[in-house]
Structure 1
Amino acid sequence: MKKDLLFYKFNSCKKTLLVFLFTLITCYAAVAQTRQITGNVSTADGIAIPGASIKIKGTTTGVVTDVNGSFKLSAPANSTLVFSFIGYLSQEVTIGSGNVYNIKLSATVSNLNEVVVVSVGYGTQKRTDLTGAISSISAATIAKLPVTSVEQALQGRAAGVQVTNNDASPGGNVSILIRGTGSLAQYGNSPLYVVDGYPLETGGMNNINPNDIASIDILKDASATAIYGIRAANGVVIINTKKGKKDGTQVELNTYDSYQSKPKEYKLLNAQQFATMANAQAANDPAKQFTTFSGWSNPSSLTNADWQNALYRNGLTQNYNVAIRGGNDKVQSATSIGYYDQKGIVIGSYFKRVTLGLNLDYQPTKWLKSSTSAKYAYQDSNNPFGTGSNLLGNLAQLPPTLDGGSNVTSQINDGKGNYGYYNPVYTYIAKYSNPVYSINDNQYKNINQFFNANSSLEATLIEGLKIKTSGGVTITNLNNSFFQPEDDRLVNQYGSVAGATQNAFFSQSLNTSFDWLWENTISYDRTFGKHTINFVGGVTEQELTNNPFNGSGVPPNAQIRDLSQVTNLKLGTTAQNIQSLASQFVRLGYNYAGRYFITGTVRRDGSSKFDVGHKYGTFPSGAISWKAKEESFLKGVDWLSNLKFRGSYGEVGNEGPIGLFQYEEQFSTGLASTNSGNLGYPFNKVYQVGIAATSPANPNLRWETDYQTDIGTDMAFLHGDLTLTVDWFNRKSKDFLLNIAVPPQTGYNTETLNVGTMSNKGWEFALNYNHNFNDFRFGAGLTISFITNKLTALNSGSTFITNPLNNPTGAVNLNGQGWTVYSETHIGQPVGEFFGYKSAGIIQSQAQIDALNANASAKTGGLNKYYYQAATSPGDRLFADVNGDGVVNASDQVSLGNPQPKFFGGFNLDGAYKAWDINLYFYGSYGNKILNYAESNQETLQNRGFAGIENLSQEYYNNAWTPTNHSNTFARIYYSDNSILNAVPSSQWIENGSYLKLKTLTVGYTLPSELLKRLSVSKLRIYVSTQNLFTITSYKGLDPEIGTQGGFGTQNGIDNGTYPSSKFYTVGLNVTF
């Protein structure tokens, strides 16, 4: 019995040992057969697909591709890998002897066919089936750009789209022109933004988190934009945000930190040089108009104030984004949260943003589907000098001196609440006359809240036939406030009046808007043999209600920021404005055999912005295309992958420049520039509250209309690796709107009229190359646009327009300088050309002046004794007598240059080798001119500023004309040169604005997947990036990238010295779980 028991135990142990050995051998064999698989997933045209899924068939093991479409995966030999991505046919590959698999996925036969989905407004189309001109930007491209807003991501990425930073401040605005300037009205050239199907009437693009964007499609020609009718003349930007996927849950973390260096600075005089110059001007001032100060008598004793250095700092940006996306066959969801915090390079400036996003799709049955999209954004921002202000220009004008005075520090800021001042006139209130104090003590607060939600329900009635209803709301809440303490307010209001007192000041501006949208559409898309029909029609209503409110008063103390608690309350605008739009539209497309395409679109809009006779407009368009590559005579041409020709013509509108009820007579209350600050008009030397008419009624006011022709071709070569798109367009903008000055005897100031016609003609080129060479992937892209703009007609009978447009005298006053018109727009010439005198050097002697004056007297029969001014002296600028009448006056002002470039574009280089990736992106323009107004301030004494004199540039001070230095470039230094001699618009201040800038350089490394398995991480990429690394230009100013001033189409290329740009250095992380 005992022996049997021992035998049983031995057999049991033997079996266990055999099982163990078998398991060990099996595991070893399995390990030995496990392979490290790498590769790339791309489209049929070689475009990388980020986020594509690679799974081992029959298991849950898998990875997703990174931003470059690359992947790494450990898989058993002879196993099958399943490659999939939404919108593309899944592909199964059995692992053979190789370890590298570069997979090209074919698009499905659904609406995501041929490369990528293209949004065309109320639907999508295959890219190869398009008849209109549409540029697209993918999520993969956006992911490589550390940008704040959607607009910045567009720069140079789409042909025909000119994107320029107007202001480099945190959250600063960007100007976008799609196919040129079509309007002269303020903000009249802005495109329509449609986000997840919702046309946004309120809220800027800063409310949209770039990390949430799946695609951007830019509709450029009238055939593409006509579906949006009266709001489509400036192009349409369609943005789709990321949605959930059916193949499980994915978590993404994207974050980066950026260090921003201090900007370039103007080279100005220091305190000693400034005081020496000022004393010399006072000594040579026979009229004793110039008052110097005792503190300047000994320049060496002065403390130098470097205002630029005092106001600049190193900036820091932090950006964090987390997204969870997933789902199954019935429900897919995507949620995201983002936090962005930028501390600007100017003290007191910042931009903070929190964003939330939700996309939810639910399909309970095959024929019914619902979708919901919601977005929320909270912004807190501050630019102490105001958006678009000439910050650098103002700093350059401040005297660089400090006078400690009694009980005041001789430092700009001693860190103890004491501030030095540069102007001894204000010795009784030392804290003022110091911009650092003004920023630190004044308090600005700009809060912007944005909420958008849109839901839809779609039913498939029969195959191809769908009906859809959707509705949504957009709510914005703006709250801007400003607090100014007693001492800062004092000097601002009373100047140097000794013993004056003034209360603190608080102002607040509020605006709550509510916008609702309801749309109903029906669509039909079917193929019958060689015939394909697609149709969409619908009705839409949208209404926007604005509730603006603003006021000001005296707060009881520095802590109170509430208008309800102030005294001496003064209310400004308090009104409710409601504008609505009701529309019907239809688009019908037909193609035969995938070769011949035709599309027709009609939209009819009714807008409340216009009077009864002009409320409704109809906007038709038509387009055709021929896919020549599908013809039998080209099918055998292997080197040609695609050849298509397109043509379109259409009509679209622009109601943007029109305000509500602007066709009615306009009334206004005035804000008196007095110490009391009363609202009203002067009567018997007392300001009384009142209302007066400012503009007459105009029942014939109508929208601006664009008529556009487009002819284009799409080509692809080398199996789709090389693509080329070329478009020629002719855009005619009719009935553009202007606020025209009217004679004062009419009792009005201005009148809004449809006054003229403009044209924009141009060529657009987009060239792209992408190819995979085993472990190495290379890509390059180029966009370049040639656009010619000109004014073709004026209905008023005039031949040109001056700037600014609403000044009765046609003169402009920039920062107190008495410049006359600096730009004009003439029939047959570009919009906003610079106008002024042509500089012919410097007058070197009195004999030269005498000869010029004698010639003037002779040619005018003694009516003019002086060629220019009676005070003209040696060292003053010599201006050309263009018309030869012997006298230099306004009739001798000529065109000095065009601020619009001859061409602009972007160039992109993209490469990857195994785990490494690199991207370089350049942007530039050529042939445009810049008015260097900031430089003109530094090269003339304007008799402005608190000290009565302003600072100058080192270059001007060291090279100005003197009796012993006969410069032929720089005029003499002359006090009170205020629009009399040299400080006038002239060719001296016009420069070549061409430039090429390296906008971004990014290098990234993706960690091997085997190192990430233990952390359940699918992908981890680390990257470093820099922005604005260098600029190639001959422009002498700080930055040649100059946008528009105030949003006006006529005010381009003016360098006032706005908030400066600088270099960014970024470290980022992309993680996928």
Structure 2
Amino acid sequence: MVKIYTSICFALFLSVFGSQTLHANTVVVKGANSMYFAFQQDTTKAKKEPVTFSVKTDTIGQMIKALQKFKTVRDTINIRSATPVPNLSLQQVIKGNLAGVYVQEPNGEPGTEQSIIVQGASGLLFTKKDMYALQPAVYLNGVPLVADNPFAFDVQKYDYNRIGPATNLLSQISIDNIQSISVIKDPFELAKLGPNAANGAIYVTTKNARAGLRDISLNSYFGFVTPPAVNTVNGVYENNFRKPFYQKYATAENYANYASYLRDSTNTAYYGPSNWNDIYYKTTPTFSADLGITGGGDRANFRFFGSGTKNAGNADDTNINKYNLFFGINMAPFKWFTVSSSVNAARLDRTRNRSLRDRFAETRYIPDLSSPLSPNASIYEGFLQENAKNVDNNRNTILNGNLTLSAKINKITISSSLIFDYNEGVRDYFTPSTLMDGVSYVSNYFGYSQRLMLNNSASYKYEINKKHTIDFEIGQSFQGDTYKYNYARAYNGPNDYVKLNLVDGNSGNDDYLNTLAAGGFYVFRYIDKEKNNLMSFYGSAKYSYKNLLDLSALVRRDGSSNGQPDSRWVTTPAFSATFNLKEQFLKNNTLFNSLHLSAGWGRNLRIFLDDRYAAGPQYRSENGWFEEPTIPGYGGRLGINRPYGSGFIGYGIKLPYADRTNITLDASFLNSRLNAAITAYNRDNKNQVIGVPVPFETGYSLNYQTGMDINNKGLELMLNGVVIRNTKGLNWNTTVNFNCNRNKLTALPNGLTELISGDDKLVVGKPVGSFWLYSNNGIYNTNAEVPAGRTFNGIPLKAGDPNWVDYNGDNRIDNKDKVSTGDRLPKFVGGWNNTLAYKNFDLNFNFIFALGQKAINQYEATRYGFINREAGNDINSVKEVSSWQVFDNEKTYPIYNPWSDVDAYRVDQDLFLENASYVKLRSVTLGYDFGKTSLFRRSGTGVRRAYLYATAMNLFTITKFTGIDPELVNYNGYYDGANLTIPRTFVLGFKLDL
């Protein structure tokens, strides 16, 4: 089918090439990147004028007018104020700057993955795989960027990081090459984008080629990330912290089993100086430089951009090096035919942290943890010297772009676009036996994601008369995605000098690829590949009546290879209307410059990220056990079995979809000094798949069924005002964006009203991000205070145990007494951006906020539950060197019996539930434009702008949260203290435009 449509497209172009009578007054190139290039030509032979190229940022259809009115507020970012801020990733750029967009940055380590949620969560929040399914589509010049597929988590025991480099692929975009960033939330516009935009869309347009005199821009900054203030402690503090527990509850046996590393107070490794922070935290340089060149003639022009960036962390010697190249070209070989193309390439080299938890999660091997890392700098330095034998190379290579051909024949415009995106990740990892209880470890990963698209469209504008016009458009799109990885992990090499898997590569030998035969490593190999195809057809019409009313309608037909055979094709409609209230009712009113009311409804098909749902009942390689669930076979032989561990997938699974409704009122007042917009929205994500528990005798853990519905509704407010306007004095522009969202689970499969998934519980009518917790009501100080016969999951409660609330009054504390409370996601998000300008000076400061979310302080739960933590010797028992510190705002908890069988400091209780709301001063920039001074104006150097600036980032946070930073809470709402802090950064830079 793809070949047929491609042939038709090229046949149409060939027929146009062969005609000598075709001409056009205006040729419009509408590329896949939705950039509009207008080539104005005079077709009369008597007078020929040069072709002029005009470039206008498009934000998809109806939003163009809104952007013209709201400029830096309505769904777009003020790029001019954003470029001096040394953000690395797209998520950091848009954080707090786009209405209804919540960005999670749970780790200050440069290049780590971050998430974006637009207008509330459309799915679950329980696992890292769930977070991948919530991400909006990101378009770079019309290319929907392909992300890493979460299917790699299927072979992982822990989901702290995805196997491979686990680098944030949206770090590929350089802010100095961006023309605009917009968030697409309108139902009609999202329906036009199709299934890729089911979670919303972020539309990024780079600076593009244009005609005229050469345009050269040179930008650079240099600065430092600074270490945080740290209050270090040693074994004395830890010993004093434990003393009240031992004095109140310990037996002679408990004293005999006292932590070995704390027994000897003369041991300087733990009771000596605690100065580890001098090595762990450092003031580190960060810098960037880029060059952009734009130029060309009337019939052909280009843009080149190249950049290099080093973004450093303030802890554990972490950093990332980014290199970016961009080239775009526009050509008009004929009056009626245009070509537009762009290519973007990037390379990301990341130096990762040296944390114990991440190492053990990668190796899946937990050594003896009875003696943690020493807080003494000299001893810790010895560990780092041994750690220097590690190999940890992480590299991502990215290439994407598009080629768009367009021809205009009278009133018909035909365009065809070829879009591609390819990224690959490589990680080589080795850790010596000296750090792994005598067992060395090596792993190698190679994986890639690629996307190829072919879009064809034809549009026609029919003018009934001067008052009535109708725009018709039909189109077709094919998208092919491929995901693949090869991953091998191996143990116990011959020595620490051998860091590679050495095998016999001769397939004719008996020992072919057998590492053990050569005395090598014990190897586990994993290979997986998925291909997902999407075919789409659509037709749309837009009716316009003067400058008063616009009505639009769209019908799509999408087919996904990830759907089951009887539900692969789905039809989705959309509608929108815009009414000009100013023109109709307030034409002569001087207060309002504009007033519009718009409404829209649209449906987006959601496609599965996993191809398992398309297959129905199936076999899988799941021959592991509880401690190692990912072993694919026994004795070196691959085995297959029913998916008892991962869950049963049957027939009758339909593709999910999202229904959206928006109503927006926007206005401009006081000669456009004040712009405002308020939007009410409702989104129903329906027919989603979830694993439903089944009886144990079936052998399966879950049965995946459709029928989960989630609703998000809310209000958005956007304000942009010129508070002070004085051409010769002080000017003050302010921008506010505010979003209030309410998330609610509205249905579960088979009419269920609640469903338990691990330590979480879904309840119809509650947010999907709710915590499922016991209610803590104090402590039983004596056995007499304990109600007679009261138990906790069958264990009698005693003095020193928590007093958990018995809600159902059966005198037994169990799951029936846990309640759904709080929400992992905030109820209110937004930002406040201000720019003060006086003559050539300007000052910009940006506040962001997230309010109403809760978090579980798992860090404190494990610190107080030190007995169970150390006895477990599992991944939660890891004590990093950074744990040898205390915080000024630490919270104190009751002194429970840490040896109690009820696990008094268990994490699933509201004792550790905290308010994680925050307000943060994100950035402050002070700049001076020397290009406006008389010195440069009279010099004749052609300098249009010579801007010198200083920027400070992450200056302070206002919060009640007792952890280091509420932003460091993980995706699941748990704060474990394992992630690096978001550093305070100071840079000095310049921007030179010639």
The bucket for the TM-score relative to the shorter chain is: 0.7 to 0.9
CA contact (8 A) 1:229 1:618 kept: no
Q: Corresponding residue for 1:725?
A: 677
Correspondence list, 1:303-702, <5 A? 303-305=272-274, 310-384=279-353, 411-414=378-381, 418-419=382-383, 436=384, 439-462=387-410, 464-489=411-436, 491=437, 501-502=438-439, 504-525=440-461, 528-553=465-490, 562-563=500-501, 567-568=520-521, 570-631=523-584, 633-659=585-611, 662-670=614-622, 679-680=631-632, 689-694=638-643, 695-702=647-654
Structure 2 residue corresponding to 1:243, chosen from 202, 208, 211: 208
1:897-953 deviation per Cα after TM superposition (whole angstroms, max 9, x unaligned): 223323111001112111101111100022222211112222222433489789899
Output the CA distance in 1 between the equivalents of 2:224 and 2:345: 27
Name the SS for the 1:829 alignment partner: coil
Matched, 1:799 2:753: yes
Q: CA separation of 1:148/1:950 partners in 2, compared to 1, >3 Å: closer, same or farther?
A: closer
Q: Corresponding residue for 2:8?
A: none
CA contact (8 A) 1:1025 1:1066 kept: yes
Q: Corresponding residue for 1:1018?
A: 944
CA contact (8 A) 1:348 1:440 kept: no
Name the SS for the 2:566 alignment partner: helix
1:719-759 deviation per Cα after TM superposition (whole angstroms, max 9, x unaligned): 11211011101111111222444444334344433231111
1:228-277 deviation per Cα after TM superposition (whole angstroms, max 9, x unaligned): 22222211222211112322111111111231112355x57521232456
Correspondence list, 1:67-466, <5 A? 117-120=57-60, 125-127=64-66, 135-184=75-124, 185-202=130-147, 204-263=169-228, 265=230, 269-275=233-239, 284-288=250-254, 290-293=257-260, 296-299=263-266, 302-305=271-274, 310-384=279-353, 411-414=378-381, 418-419=382-383, 436=384, 439-462=387-410, 464-466=411-413
Name the SS for the 1:118 alignment partner: coil
1:1032-1071 deviation per Cα after TM superposition (whole angstroms, max 9, x unaligned): 11111111225653xxxxx246455422212111111101
Matched, 1:882 2:807: yes
Name the SS for the 2:816 alignment partner: helix
Q: CA separation of 1:307/1:939 partners in 2, compared to 1, >3 Å: closer, same or farther?
A: farther
Q: Corresponding residue for 2:979?
A: 1058
Q: Corresponding residue for 1:44?
A: none
Name the SS for the 1:1036 alignment partner: coil
Give ranges in structure 1 of 5+ residues lacking alignment.
Answer: 1-84, 90-108, 420-435, 492-500, 811-820, 858-863, 961-968, 1046-1050
Name the SS for the 1:313 alignment partner: coil
> Normalising by structure 2, what TM-score?
0.81
CA contact (8 A) 1:867 1:886 kept: no
CA contact (8 A) 2:107 2:980 kept: yes
Aligned residues: CA RMSD:
3.8
- Structure 1 letter corresponding to 2:853: N
Output the CA distance in 1 between the equivalents of 2:810 and 2:703: 37
Q: Corresponding residue for 2:924?
A: 1001
> Normalising by structure 1, what TM-score?
0.75
Q: CA separation of 1:556/1:520 partners in 2, compared to 1, >3 Å: closer, same or farther?
A: farther
- Structure 1 letter corresponding to 2:838: Y
Structure 2 residue corresponding to 1:986, chosen from 882, 902, 909: 909
Output the CA distance in 2 between the equivalents of 1:282 and 1:305: 24
Q: CA separation of 1:559/1:1068 partners in 2, compared to 1, >3 Å: closer, same or farther?
A: farther
- In the alignment of these two chains, the number of paired residues is 880
Q: Corresponding residue for 2:44?
A: none
Q: Corresponding residue for 2:17?
A: none
Identity of aligned residues (%): 23
Output the CA distance in 1 between the equivalents of 2:889 and 2:66: 61
Displacement after TM superposition at 1:160 (Å): 1.6
Structure 2 residue corresponding to 1:707, chosen from 653, 659, 678: 659
Give ranges in structure 2 of 5+ residues lacking alignment.
Answer: 1-35, 41-51, 125-129, 149-168, 362-367, 504-514
Structure 2 residue corresponding to 1:1039, chosen from 948, 961, 965: 965
Output the CA distance in 2 between the equivalents of 1:438 and 1:655: 47
Displacement after TM superposition at 1:350 (Å): 1.7
Displacement after TM superposition at 1:390 (Å): 12
Q: Corresponding residue for 1:779?
A: 733
CA contact (8 A) 1:271 1:401 kept: no
Q: Corresponding residue for 2:11?
A: none
Correspondence list, 1:737-886, <5 A? 737-770=689-722, 772-775=725-728, 776-802=730-756, 805=757, 810=758, 821=759, 823-844=760-781, 846=782, 849-854=783-788, 857=789, 864=790, 869-870=795-796, 872-874=798-800, 876-886=801-811
- Structure 1 letter corresponding to 2:137: L
Matched, 1:938 2:885: no
Displacement after TM superposition at 1:128 (Å): 7.8
Output the CA distance in 1 between the equivalents of 2:676 and 2:205: 25
Output the CA distance in 2 between the equivalents of 1:1072 and 1:472: 31
653-662 or 245-254: which moved more? 653-662
Q: CA separation of 1:898/1:661 partners in 2, compared to 1, >3 Å: closer, same or farther?
A: closer
643-652 or 520-529: which moved more? 520-529
Output the CA distance in 1 between the equivalents of 2:802 and 2:709: 38
Output the CA distance in 2 between the equivalents of 1:1003 and 1:383: 32
Q: CA separation of 1:993/1:277 partners in 2, compared to 1, >3 Å: closer, same or farther?
A: closer
Displacement after TM superposition at 1:760 (Å): 0.6
- Structure 2 letter corresponding to 1:312: Y
- Structure 1 letter corresponding to 2:119: R
Q: CA separation of 1:735/1:782 partners in 2, compared to 1, >3 Å: closer, same or farther?
A: same
- Structure 2 letter corresponding to 1:987: D
781-790 or 658-667: which moved more? 658-667
Displacement after TM superposition at 1:971 (Å): 2.2
